Structure 1
């Protein structure tokens, strides 16, 4: 797991090298970190709201782990006060009746 001594000792992070080795992750690892659907991630990438993936080979797509972790940290800092809940009275299926305790 990131942040552990075993993780930092992985060969992707050589401390004596002058080259900037960065760990990349494939789709399976990304799904473990980011609990969003693939289509949501693709749409966010297209809009520039999520780190872009890149191809290592024609059949291997990866994301930069440092960029993904930075994105998560950035999302943690966003204030939640501007987020509004959907109006349940406007639902087409299972609408809430007037006078209900829900809402």
Structure 2
């Protein structure tokens, strides 16, 4: 999405969408995050974690090129 007055806006993804995009389970995502092998989530509140779409897209591209 672009704005005529600025750079493209970052899109935030919730866990179900991240799971659908990368094909890994919740536990695998969190395990790889702790190992530094998956993009870190951001907390928007006590029960709300999000990932930046561009970081997930970059990770998928890196895995695909292995």
Pair in the same fold by TM > 0.5: yes
Q: Answer yes or no: is the 8 Å Cα contact 2:13–2:53 preserved in 1.
A: yes
Unaligned runs of 5+ in 1: 1-12, 79-103
Counterpart in the other structure of 1:63: 51
CA distance in 1 between counterparts of 2:46 and 2:55 reads 22
- If asked which structure has higher relative contact order (CA below 8 Å, sep 6+), I would say 2
What do residues 13-42 of structure 1 show as CA deviations (whole Å, max 9, x unaligned)? 233132552001001111110111111111
Query: TM-score when scaled to structure 1?
Result: 0.58
The structure carrying a bigger strand percent of its residues is: 2
Task: Provide the aligned C-alpha RMSD in A.
Answer: 1.4
1:54 matched residue in structure 2: 42
4+ residue segments displaced more than 4 Å: none
Q: Point out the structure with max Rg over C-alpha.
A: 1
Greater helix share, structure number: 2
Q: Number of aligned pairs?
A: 66
